[in-house]
Structure 1
Amino acid sequence: MNKINKMNKISKKYGLWFGVAALAGCTSVADMVGYDTAALNEGAERNYTQVVQKARSQNALDVSSPTAQRVHRVFSRLVPYANRANRTGIPFNWQMNVIRSNELNAWAMPGGKMAVYTGMVERLQLTDDEIAAVIGHEMTHALLEHSKKAIGGQVLTGLGGSILAGAVGLDGNLVGVGTDLLATKPFSRHQESEADAGGVRLMAQAGYNPQAAISVWEKMNRAQGGSQVAVLSTHPANNTRIEAIRRMLPEVMPVYHQNKR
């Protein structure tokens, strides 16, 4: 099995962190069963360490390429603004790793543990501004605790399984999570829209051009062959996202012009 296939397996296993949110708005339920912010962040940190170690063992951890250097540079500029936007009550220990894989992928675990796949940058030929759009989007998912809210929703549905408990080291009897749901359901439309908006604001504050968030989705359109299907009726179609970002430009462009370097 080649390195990319191995990393694809990693991404499917740990993709629950950015693909888990089919149901939202249940943070208090998640708290009630023990999924408080601190515990979830600690579990994610342990899991993230395993992901990084696995990538390193397969020589898939990119620490020195020009792509990796660009990702880390953009990430470092965004972190101070992400910290200011943190309303969880728990400081995040932001970390970024770049994974050598052909996948168009990037994700953030609870507590700010992140990865960008080289395929996202290199296949789409992303500019630094576009990298900032991707990272800002994923940061916002973590800042708004979308994974935590999804856990609360799954408690309410009573779905069976313990995949999440195994991943974050929590008691599997506390909550059931359906394997199929974790494997297939993306964040809700509302959560994706929140992440788009928050990411655009973060990149503008850090001095990256918010218009690049539009060009990222235009490139994704081309990479997907122009498909505009809203996946499982939860993901906004790319053109819908582009129009929503355009409507934000009068708000965020002055912020960008004030902070651009």
Structure 2
Amino acid sequence: MKVACIFGVAVVATLGLNGCTTIADMAGADSATLNASAAQGFTKMRQEAQQKGQLDTSSSTYKRINTVMLRMIPYANQMNQTGHPFSWQLAVLKSDTMNAYVAPGGKVVFYSGIVNRLNLTDAEIAAVMGHEMTHALEEHSKNKVGAEVLTNLALGIGKSYVGDVGGGLGGAALDLGSQVGVGLPYSRSLESRADYGGLMLMAKAGYNPQAAITLWTKMSKMDGAGGPVFLSTHPSNQERIDAMERNLPAAMAIYNSRR
């Protein structure tokens, strides 16, 4: 979702992505620690959602998301250069909120609203999944932690924001979401990286990458009218679509090579 390497602009701009992740390691937020923390948060979130009847484990929406995730996991694992294997798990939350994220270590969270309200096709679900998987695989949340250390920005600020957009879900869902930056925007460069990586990942998994453009077109139409949390504070809709169109030939070559 969103990261904070835009804070402390002068220092962070100099350090860049690798600098932020190095600072995170020095602060004790190394990959293994972040993955373990996300796993604990994910378990707590699932338990809380189940107790409240908000955990979807059987609907057609859940089955479609799960099928897409399982199909993409082998290709996501090929992209994993973190030095730590991901333990992929899925939670689908019953909520009209249009949001999705992948927490460190492969904990996938989809709010049913992003699929149902946007009437997503399987390929468009794959576009969302690929984008979020790329954030996790490139450890953009670790980048966020490093940026926050540099700017003395507490993670609680993110939690205070997501409380307004959590769709009535419990605190565990908001806590886990805040780990990957809900309420704290990723830099545009990291969003562009996730767009590119997601486009290539969905193509490798055999999903037509043209669906990424239809996805963002749908979300663009919802923007400003109770639109997706997933979309807020990201690069402008047209900038995003233009970049995807430039990268589409490379993605289509991968997709067509599988046919």
- Band of TM-score, shorter chain: 0.7 to 0.9
Listed one character per residue, the Cα deviations across residues 122-153 of structure 1 (whole Å, up to 9, x for unaligned) are 11000000000000000000001001011111
Listed one character per residue, the Cα deviations across residues 179-225 of structure 1 (whole Å, up to 9, x for unaligned) are 9xx66321111111111100000000000000000001100011125
Shift of 1:22: 4.0
5+ residue gaps, structure 1, are: 1-17, 167-178
Q: Distance in 2 between matches of 1:157 and 1:48?
A: 27
Aligned position for 1:193: 192
Tell me the SS of whatever aligns to 1:136.
Answer: helix
Shift of 1:33: 1.5
Listed one character per residue, the Cα deviations across residues 53-111 of structure 1 (whole Å, up to 9, x for unaligned) are 11111111111111110000000000000000001011000111111110111011111
Tell me the SS of whatever aligns to 1:236.
Answer: coil
Q: Is contact 2:4–2:148 with CA below 8 Å preserved after alignment?
A: no
RMSD value over aligned CA atoms?
A: 2.4
Q: Is contact 2:2–2:187 with CA below 8 Å preserved after alignment?
A: no
Q: Relative to structure 2, which stretch is displaced further, 182-191 or 36-45?
A: 182-191
Q: Is contact 1:22–1:185 with CA below 8 Å preserved after alignment?
A: no
1:44 aligns with 2:38: yes
Aligned position for 1:163: 156
Aligned position for 1:123: 117
**Amino acid of the residue matched to residue 250 of structure 1?**
P
Aligned ranges 1:111-190 → 2 under 5 Å? 111-159=105-153, 161=154, 163=156, 184-190=183-189
Tell me the SS of whatever aligns to 2:234.
Answer: coil
Q: Distance in 2 between matches of 1:90 and 1:146?
A: 15
**Amino acid of the residue matched to residue 190 of structure 1?**
S
Q: Is contact 2:115–2:125 with CA below 8 Å preserved after alignment?
A: yes
Q: Is contact 2:220–2:237 with CA below 8 Å preserved after alignment?
A: yes
1:105 aligns with 2:99: yes
1:83 aligns with 2:51: no
Q: Distance in 1 between matches of 2:63 and 2:123?
A: 14
Q: Distance in 2 between matches of 1:83 and 1:183?
A: 24
* Greater relative contact order structure (CA < 8 Å, 6+ sep): 2
Q: Distance in 1 between matches of 2:129 and 2:80?
A: 15
Aligned position for 1:69: 63
Label 1:119 to 1:162 Cα distance change in 2 as closer, same or farther (>3 A): closer
5+ residue gaps, structure 2, are: 7-15, 160-177
Q: Distance in 2 between matches of 1:95 and 1:81?
A: 15
Shift of 1:19: 3.5
Aligned position for 2:90: 96
Label 1:258 to 1:47 Cα distance change in 2 as closer, same or farther (>3 A): same
Label 1:41 to 1:183 Cα distance change in 2 as closer, same or farther (>3 A): closer
Q: Is contact 2:3–2:143 with CA below 8 Å preserved after alignment?
A: no
TM-score by length of 2: 0.81
TM-score by length of 1: 0.80
